[in-house]
Structure 1
Amino acid sequence: MTDLKKMYSTLRGDSFPLEMTISFGDQTLVYRKKTWKIPQEDGTFDERGLRYGENPDQEAALYELVNGNLLLGNCTYIEPGNGLVSAISVEDMLQVGKHPGKINLTDVDNGLNIIKYLVDRPAAVILKHTNPCGAAIGSSLADAYNRANRCDRIAAFGGAVVTSRPLDKETAELMAQNYLEVVCAPDFEDGVLDILARRKNLRVIRMPGINHLAAFEQYRFVDFKSLIDGGIIVQQSAINSIRTPQDLKPAITTYKGVQYSCERQPTQREVEDMLFGWAVEHGITSNSVIYVKDGCTTAIGAGEQDRVGVAEIAIHKAYVKYADILCFDTHGIPYADLVLAIHQGKRDKADKEAIDAKVKNDRAGLPGSVMISDAFFPFRDAADVGIREGVTAILQAGGSIRDFESIQACNEAKPQVAMMYTGQRSFKH
């Protein structure tokens, strides 16, 4: 049997060429493979690219766009010289740990994809397998990171963190309490690296380009999907057009000659959460439904086949993660460890009963949340799932034949629930 643990610590060979050229008719884009000369434990240096791909038995390479200017339709595409993840240098790797793998970098990349809409505020996104575990804005970077981490402390274990602000000591101390794979920030204040160095294999990446991420909103890139038969699907990257309250649309529809409209309008706080939540949705695998409150995710459901199912899964996760954070706050251990200790006769079952009662009473912190869906609700069942848990507002794409049912669900709720449309969907596959 293959020693999988050894495979994870072994650098794969690299059969990919130093340069790659892609032609679009008479337009050519030139890419150069990225390698890093990284010191090894024996004092030597090893120059390699990516450690491996999605799995340790897959070779992989990272390429940076170095030449070419693509014009397709009326879109403006990113030009050479604007590299972020693909431009990471050895000097940017303030703590290397070991050569990065594909998943490390794609996690950081999708974190940038989300945080580019939040760079005007202290913000943090924690990701695992390209999906956010938690995302939040805050009064400070430490506040933003702490809120994002508390959304799902379990999934954040071994995750990648991207921040909108230079990392300070307070935030670094919070990060040091959990095991992370990657920390990426525009810069690091004095003393921060000493704190992060407690984790030997943590990759610490400085990315000054985060300070200019807002400019990336106006650009597109070419998105490739390779098929099993060697074919390629190519598309323009998605653009988030829901950036201000004025971009939101009222929930109004007509069905069989009857007009239906949502009777309650969202509050300013709910509108702000709608905009924040839609920015986070932009980086979540479809089908997705998330719940946000006060600029922080309260539950994230991603990558499911049906919309009501993902709405229910997000709520189930909220209850599990809420119990875990309560247990950690109260007893300093994960909820699963508490359950095991009770089973082994080492702890009083009253400890668990107290946590379970509070989770039930608080409804996992979901009341007051805004429910965000990356596409329309084909039936009212998904809206009903959120309403039962106390959401006060819903944002969805709109456009379903049965939009009137979701509107009715909001109007029938006691108290009534607000609903707005985006007029665009935010699928990501």
Structure 2
Amino acid sequence: MPDLVPLSRALISVSDKTGLTELGRALADRGVELLSTGGSAKALREAGLAVTDVAEATGFPEMMDGRVKTLHPVIHGGLLALRDDPAHLAAMEAHGIAGIDLLVVNLYPFEATVARGAEWDEVIENIDIGGPAMIRAAAKNHGFVTTVVDVEDYAALLVELDTHEGRTSEAFRRTMAQRAYGRTAAYDAAVSTWMAGAIGEPAPRRRAVAGTLAQTMRYGENPHQGAAFYTDGSNRPGVATAQQHQGKALSYNNINDTDAAFELVSEFADAPPTCVIVKHANPCGVAQGESLAEAYGRAFDCDRVSAFGGIVALNRPLDRATAEAITGIFTEVVIAPGADDAAREIFAGKKNLRLLTTAGLGDAEAPGLVWRQVSGGYLVQDRDAGRLDPASLQIVTKRRPSEAEMADLLFAWTVGKHVKSNAIVYVKDGATVGIGAGQMSRVDSTRIAARKALDMAAAIGLDAAPTEGSVVASDAFFPFPDGLIAAAEAGARAVIQPGGAMRDADVIAAADDAGLAMVFTGRRHFRH
């Protein structure tokens, strides 16, 4: 297998015409014969380039609305023939097959067709057959054939040709072959995933997932771990599609935490100004206010210690007053659906602060899948989407929650959905005042949240515990009365929890004895 292979004949068949004529002209200027199909050939001719139609080369017309045009031995023989095998060369000569040294193909826009909500028949017509077949053939024969499937690689191809006097190196062809197979794999994954959803198959026998590299990283969660960030092409508003205005590249942990913050704040798309502060993927403060600045201040007062070096997510465009408040401490990332010029000017003086803006908030009710790797496999589940219907709540205690308490209970419940289990969230007047996350015991989460609230009270000079007169949410049921009693001792006056424990009667009795109002949701929100 030779290292350097000259290019004398190229087959170009692209759906995305970006850069097509420039590439065609550059190849022609280097003496490469152009072979093409349909719209690609038309565009090249209109640019004044000499092009041979595939139909002319095969002696067989395009037919069946273009479904059959490149599926022919003259094409695949030209791609697959081993140029150092006498038998292959004899077969090429006997059947009039000319070699194809370069294949430039990008595929029918299947993913874009699905994304715009096309009907079944149109989606099916946008499943490319000839393109993947040629790509796989050319990539297999990378010892002699160069395969290019991405517009962004056109420039690299031309640099390669200039570097090696019209030839490509084996290393370059191998790199292009790997990218080619990555593209066809991603394409097939998109087709199979769409079809599974379209026919209502929740657990297909084989499930594939694909992504496009967005960023390589210095390291992962820890410096000894390599890492990279891939996007899935869904265009859902969030960290993957946000515009970064300043600051160094996001780290692995930045992206993970920013996603957690943005997904939580997206629960409050139709709410008053809301701020979420996240640290290590858990909210350490969530609050609403008359303004974003007020919301930020109230969220900050939940846990000022943890907020240092945290992630801030907002449900409104960032404004000057909020930017000024945020820059009062070190913050890693701020993400919001926009930012005004004054806010961006203030942030510009903080070179290590990343500002991300999005095209709106995420849809908290949108379906989707969550993947988690385990040893030897993957767990796949539906996103914890949807909202709690207040009409479905069951009040199980003698005392009913007041209107203000019910509003706080629903707020606490929404926040608790995004706290690692076991999760306990105290809320008062539309702001978290204590959060207990990730403990092995629910009663420990209850006590930790109350303890942190007392610490903040001392730090900011409050006379009473912030949890006094609060409500509390638990992401799963209280298995025993002890956790509920601990919440009552911290001053909570109302509780929201799923219910469904074997000892629900004991927990309800304890709530009645403490004068608490308690609401059952019938739904839990474990987040491990």
TM-score of the pair, normalised by structure 2 = 0.60
CA distance in 1, matches of 2:499, 2:313: 31
Equivalent of 1:233, from 379, 384, 391?
379
Structure 1 stretches of at least 4 aligned residues deviating more than 3 Å after TM superposition: 15-30
CA distance in 1, matches of 2:367, 2:504: 31
Q: Is the aligned partner of 1:187 residue 2:338?
A: yes
| Superposition pairs of residues 202-217 of structure 1, within 5 angstroms | 202-210=353-361, 213=362, 216-217=363-364
Match of 2:391 in 1: 246
> What residue identity is the alignment partner of 1:370?
V
Equivalent of 1:81, from 224, 232, 235?
235
CA distance in 2, matches of 1:426, 1:195: 38
| Superposition pairs of residues 27-426 of structure 1, within 5 angstroms | 29-35=209-215, 49-66=216-233, 80-88=234-242, 92-95=243-246, 97-120=247-270, 121-210=272-361, 213=362, 216-227=363-374, 229-242=375-388, 244-251=389-396, 262-326=397-461, 359=463, 362=464, 364-413=465-514, 416-426=515-525
Match of 1:184, SS state, is strand
Percent identity of the aligned residues? 38
> What residue identity is the alignment partner of 2:220?
G
* Contact residue 237 and residue 359 of structure 2 kept, 8 A: no
CA distance in 2, matches of 1:309, 1:34: 40
CA distance in 2, matches of 1:276, 1:388: 21
* Contact residue 64 and residue 83 of structure 1 kept, 8 A: no
> What residue identity is the alignment partner of 2:379?
I
Give the C-alpha shift of residue 29 in structure 1: 4.8
Greater CA deviation, 190-199 or 371-380?
Answer: 190-199
1:343-366 Cα distance to aligned partner (Å, 9 max, x none): xxxxxxxxxxxxxxx55xx1x221
1:287-317 Cα distance to aligned partner (Å, 9 max, x none): 0111001110000000000111110111111
CA distance in 2, matches of 1:81, 1:388: 46
Match of 1:98, SS state, is coil
Give the C-alpha shift of residue 318 in structure 1: 0.9
Match of 2:232, SS state, is strand
* Contact residue 396 and residue 421 of structure 1 kept, 8 A: yes
* Contact residue 65 and residue 83 of structure 1 kept, 8 A: no
CA distance in 1, matches of 2:346, 2:360: 24
Cα RMSD of the aligned pairs, angstroms, is 2.0
Give the C-alpha shift of residue 63 in structure 1: 1.5
1:147-166 Cα distance to aligned partner (Å, 9 max, x none): 00111111000000000001
CA distance in 1, matches of 2:205, 2:480: 44
Give the C-alpha shift of residue 145 in structure 1: 0.7
- Report which of the two has the higher share of strand: 1
> What residue identity is the alignment partner of 2:377?
G
Match of 2:496, SS state, is strand
Give the C-alpha shift of residue 141 in structure 1: 0.7
Match of 2:364, SS state, is helix
- Report which of the two has the higher share of helix: 2
Give the C-alpha shift of residue 197 in structure 1: 2.4
* Contact residue 240 and residue 282 of structure 1 kept, 8 A: no
* Contact residue 289 and residue 310 of structure 1 kept, 8 A: yes
CA distance in 2, matches of 1:50, 1:324: 38
CA distance in 2, matches of 1:397, 1:391: 17
Give the C-alpha shift of residue 52 in structure 1: 2.4
CA distance in 2, matches of 1:276, 1:51: 38
Match of 2:285, SS state, is strand
* Contact residue 273 and residue 288 of structure 2 kept, 8 A: yes
User: What is the aligned residue count?
Assistant: 333
1:231-256 Cα distance to aligned partner (Å, 9 max, x none): 222211212441x42132222xxxxx
> What residue identity is the alignment partner of 1:226?
Q
CA distance in 2, matches of 1:418, 1:218: 28
* Contact residue 365 and residue 387 of structure 2 kept, 8 A: no
* Contact residue 223 and residue 235 of structure 1 kept, 8 A: yes
* Contact residue 288 and residue 303 of structure 1 kept, 8 A: yes
Give the C-alpha shift of residue 26 in structure 1: 7.0
CA distance in 2, matches of 1:55, 1:150: 30
- In structure 2, list runs of 5 or more residues that go unmatched: 1-174, 193-203
> What residue identity is the alignment partner of 2:343?
V
Q: Which has the larger radius of gyration?
A: 2
